[in-house]
Amino acid sequence: MKIAMFLGNAGKNSGGMEVYEMELVRGLMKIDASNSYHIYCMFPGGPEKVGPAPPNFTYHVLQPQNQVLSISMTLPMALRYLQPDAVHSTFVPPLFVPPRMAYTLPCSAVFAHPQMYPWAIRMRLLALCGLGIKRADAVVCVSQHVREYLMSNKGVTADRLPVTPLGVNRCFRPQPDDAIDAVVKEKYGIHDPYFLFSGRWEERKNVVRMVEAFGQFKREDRTGAKLVFTGDRCLLGPVVDEKVRRLGLEKEVIDTGKSPLEDLPPLYAGATALIFPSLWESFGLPIVEAMKCGTPVISSNLSCIPEVAGEAAVLVDPYKTEEIAEAMFRVSIDPELRARMSTAGLKRSELYNWENTAAKTLEVYERLASRS
- Quickly list DSSP for 263-292: GHHHHHHTSSEEEE--S--SS-HHHHHHHH
Using an 8 Å Cβ cutoff, are 202 and 231 in contact?
Answer: no
Q: Mean pLDDT, to the nearest integer, of 61-79?
A: 89
Using an 8 Å Cβ cutoff, are 277 and 209 in contact?
Answer: yes
Choice among 123-127, 228-232, 341-345, 355-359 with the minimum mean pLDDT: 123-127
Where residue 231 falls (left for φ over 0; alpha for ψ -120 to 50; beta otherwise) is left
Confidence at 79, pLDDT banded by 50, 70, 90: very high
Q: Please report, rounded to a whole number, the percentage of residues in the chain having pLDDT higher than 70.
A: 100
pLDDT in tens, 207-240: 999 999 999 999 988 889 999 999 999 889 999 9
Confidence at 372, pLDDT banded by 50, 70, 90: low
Report which residue type is found at 197. Answer: F
Q: Mean pLDDT, to the nearest integer, of 55-60?
A: 98
How many other β-carbons are positioned within 10 Å of the β-carbon of residue 191?
11
Nearest to 52 by CA among 39, 63, 70: 39
Among the CATH numbers 3.40.50.920, 1.10.10.10, 3.40.50.2000, 3.40.50.150, which is that of 2-167+353-369?
Answer: 3.40.50.2000
What whole-number distance in Å separates Cα of residue 337 and Cα of residue 153? 39
Positions of CATH 3.40.50.2000 in the chain: 2-167+353-369, 177-349
What whole-number distance in Å separates Cα of residue 300 and Cα of residue 206? 10
Using an 8 Å Cβ cutoff, are 261 and 228 in contact?
Answer: no
Instruction: Give the pLDDT confidence score for residue 326 in this predicted structure.
Output: 97
Confidence at 67, pLDDT banded by 50, 70, 90: confident
Does the reported pTM lie above 0.85? Answer: yes
Q: Mean pLDDT, to the nearest integer, of 323-339?
A: 97
Q: Mean pLDDT, to the nearest integer, of 309-337?
A: 97
Q: Which CATH fold topology does 177-349 show?
A: Rossmann fold (3.40.50)
pLDDT in tens, 116-173: 888 888 898 899 899 999 999 999 999 999 999 999 999 999 999 999 999 999 999 9
Instruction: Give the pLDDT confidence score for residue 197 in this predicted structure.
Output: 98
